[in-house]
Amino acid sequence: MVDGGGYYHGVILLDKPAGITSHDAVLEVRRAIRQRRVGHAGTLDRLAEGLLVVCIGRATKIVQFLSGFDKTYEAQICLGRRSRTFDSEGVYADEAEQTIPDLNSTALAKLVSEFTGRIKQRVPIYSAVRVNGVRLHRLAREGVDVVPPEREVKIREIDVLEYDKPHLRLRISCSSGTYIRSLADDLGNRLGCGGYLSKLRRTAVGALTLDDAVSSDDVPRLHGAGKLADHLMSFADVLTFGAIRINDEYEPYVVSGKSLRARDVIGVEGSFGVGDKIVLKNTQGEVLAVGTAGSPSRCVGETRDGELFNYIRVLN
């Protein structure tokens, strides 16, 4: 939406090109629309391209809730060489190319299956993760000897799209926080020949996809033509959690976080359990707040007053 002052409020899906940082992409949007409150939900590396979820105006309040969505990527891994950065920037030029073992469809299926499910992953030494308050990439460039931390991530699915030696193309669905660069390095080490991430394109963040994205060049053009608002998504479009719908009488009390009572509820959307993130919606379907459920969706009408919804953030 656009308010009376001409300021945008909503989420726009951006197809970030390779070669610029996510921060730079946000700066380009800020300059194009002359609006300061712009942020992104989930960093893409400078060499990566694809879906960057950009929040504008009041939508910056929901960045924290979008960052945790699962991601889908299309990745190209170059086998036979190693890289200090796990991508094309840090390939060891003084190391000879290693012999790549024969990989037929059966061998490829077996290989990727070893990296699905919950796995431990070492954070790349050239990354923005902090150790003792200092970013790893800074320590690495200063020659400080540090062991990067490990993380547990979930690789939901890996599909082999193509193998044209030495390039292996994969589609990867994974939890937030997964480093595809680390996965490329691990795959190469598992084969004994080394490997690094040569291309990466993010195609989805949760249910949000590139199908609805605009390019960086589109933003100033659409803004100038008065059509950028047509591409903005509302809170309800992007917060795909279960929902409790409330009556008009309770709506004014949302801003103060007043306890929700069973008689204030007019309906439930989706299925959720205790502790799951859910949203409050008014009678028009607008999202007013994000919180956690104090009751399973099937028992909302039977729950005692004050235990239905625990506020995390009010959005209006």
pLDDT at 301: 77
Say whether pLDDT at 68 is over 90. no
What mean pLDDT, rounded, does the chain reach?
91
Query: What is the Cα–Cα distance from 181 to 199, expressed in whole angstroms?
Result: 10
121-159 pLDDT, tens per residue?
Answer: 887 776 676 766 667 667 667 666 676 778 899 999 999
Query: What is the Cα–Cα distance from 259 to 239, expressed in whole angstroms?
Result: 22
The domain 71-202 is placed in CATH, from the list 3.40.50.720, 1.10.3720.10, 1.20.1250.20, 3.30.2350.10, at 3.30.2350.10
The set of catalytic residues is 45
pLDDT at 130: 73
pLDDT at 275: 94
172-188 pLDDT, tens per residue?
Answer: 999 998 999 999 999 99
User: Which residues are bridge partners to 174 per DSSP?
Assistant: 71, 155
Percent of the chain with pLDDT over 90: 77
209-252 pLDDT, tens per residue?
Answer: 999 999 989 999 999 999 999 999 999 999 999 999 999 999 99
Query: What is the Cα–Cα distance from 88 to 50, expressed in whole angstroms?
Result: 18
Cβ pair 194, 82 in contact under 8 A = yes
Over range 21-44, report the average pLDDT.
Answer: 93
Let me know if the fold of 10-67+208-236 is the same as that of 241-314.
no
Residue extents of the structural domains in the chain: 10-67+208-236, 71-202, 241-314
Dig out the tokens for 223 from the structure. 């803004």
Say whether pLDDT at 316 is over 80. no
pLDDT at 248: 96
* CATH architecture for the domain at 10-67+208-236: 2-Layer Sandwich (3.30)
Query: What is the Cα–Cα distance from 224 to 215, expressed in whole angstroms?
Result: 15
Residues 241-314: name the CATH superfamily.
Answer: PUA domain (2.30.130.10)
249-285 pLDDT, tens per residue?
Answer: 999 999 999 999 989 999 999 999 999 999 999 999 9
Say whether pLDDT at 79 is over 70. yes
